[in-house]
Homo-oligomer: A and B are copies of this chain.
Amino acid sequence: MKSGHSSSDISRRTAIASMALLPALSSALLSTSAEAQATSGAPLASWNDGAAKQAILDFVRATTDQASARFVKPEDRIAAFDQDGTLWVEHPIYSQVVYCLDRVPAVVEKDPKLKNVEPFKTVLSGNREAIAKLSLHDLEKILVATLTGMSVDDFEAEAKKWLTNAKHARWKRPYTELIYQPMVEAMQYLRANGFRTYIVTGGGQDFVRVYSNQVYGVPVEQVVGTAGGTKFGYHKDGKPFLTKEPKLLLNNDKAGKPEGIHLMIGKRPNAAFGNSGGDREMLEYTGAGDGARLMMLVLHDDGQREYAYGPAQGLPNSKVGTFSQALYDEAKKKGWTVISMKNDWKRIFAFDEKA
């Protein structure tokens, strides 16, 4: 696998990079629709009153009031949302990694000699402790084997099936129900005010596209993610199709996020939402534009209703979705808003009792 980036930071970048290697075309599928869950009446109903909610309201007022000096033309209204840890649960591990691990038996069935080859052997053993200890190099092998080599259509069908059936171990619900209701409301509120909402994720572009429209109301063309190449070819009957290749085109994490935004959107967002060091450059890039700006970071400080991790503000450290104290300090210094999951969100999920 090739990457245009060199980085010694092995935490999220490398693992997520390998996920790139996927595709998906349409967007119809899955459980509960975000739009159907829309709260009627006052906007941002699942947010407690406070600085975070107010920041969203103020930003929308400034950018949509024609009398405002900071008015933004509707065609230029862009809001970018990280996914993992910002729109849905990312602990204990990214959903897409679970997908890849779950796909290993099918891959081995098609290529039985892998049965006794590492890291596939360990994954097949079901030994959770051993699986958790797999190296990033091993994980990359698994991602490449499970996300590339098939047609774009076959990948989409497989991912759709998994998303319908797989359940998160803690909540016993499909991953696509583990989305943060307050963030869905923020997306809906921005869209109702003429913003186009983009997902800008380190996760695989094609994976997220499989459910983005149904779950978030974000059409596939507004999903910017880590992306691999495809290869055009023909079936025996002459019908053309695309195959997912093990070639990384866009490593959409950290500095790769503004680079991906430029490639895929070509406009600087007015608003950006994230939750970890992977979103820092996207928020910096968003903040460097003129006029009204909204930069927000979700802090997972709610171990009871979701998870608590940082290590910012003395929260437990985490390899997945690291929110460092340095990032927290930068946010404070630059006027970004840190969302406290515990204090700012009335409820976390759509299935939680309404407040």
- The answer on a CB contact under 8 Å between B209 and A25 is no
How far is A258 from B234 in the complex, measured between Cα atoms in Å? 12
User: Is A51 an interface residue, CB under 8 A from the partner?
Assistant: no
Contact-size category for A? 35 or more
How far is A220 from B24 in the complex, measured between Cα atoms in Å? 23
Closest approach, in angstroms, between the C-beta of A147 and any C-beta of chain B?
15
User: Is A327 an interface residue, CB under 8 A from the partner?
Assistant: no
How far is A247 from B209 in the complex, measured between Cα atoms in Å? 26
How far is A250 from B230 in the complex, measured between Cα atoms in Å? 11
User: Is A41 an interface residue, CB under 8 A from the partner?
Assistant: no
Copies in the complex: 2
Which of A64-72, A129-137, A181-189, A260-268 is found at the contact surface with chain B? Answer: A260-268
User: Is A93 an interface residue, CB under 8 A from the partner?
Assistant: no
Interface of A is mostly: mixed
Known: A232-B281, A247-B4, A249-B250. A240 touches B258 (CB 8 A): yes
Partner of A25, one of B245, B255, B266, B284: B266
**For window 203-230 of chain A, which residues contact chain B by CB distance below 8 Å?**
205-206, 209, 219-221, 223, 227, 229-230
How far is A249 from B249 in the complex, measured between Cα atoms in Å? 6
- The answer on a CB contact under 8 Å between B247 and A259 is no
- The answer on a CB contact under 8 Å between A281 and B26 is no
- The answer on a CB contact under 8 Å between B232 and A259 is yes
Known: A250-B249, A281-B240, A288-B239. A262 touches B152 (CB 8 A): yes
Contact with B along A20-43 (1 / 0, CB 8 A): 000111100000000000000000
| Known interface pairs A25-B266, A152-B262, A242-B258; 4 further A-B residue pairs with C-beta atoms within 8 A, sorted by A's residue number | A25-B267, A232-B255, A240-B288, A241-B288
Binding site for B on A (CB under 8 A): 4, 23-26, 75, 152, 205-206, 209, 219-221, 223, 227, 229-232, 239-242, 245, 247, 249-250, 255-256, 258-259, 262-268, 281, 284-285, 288
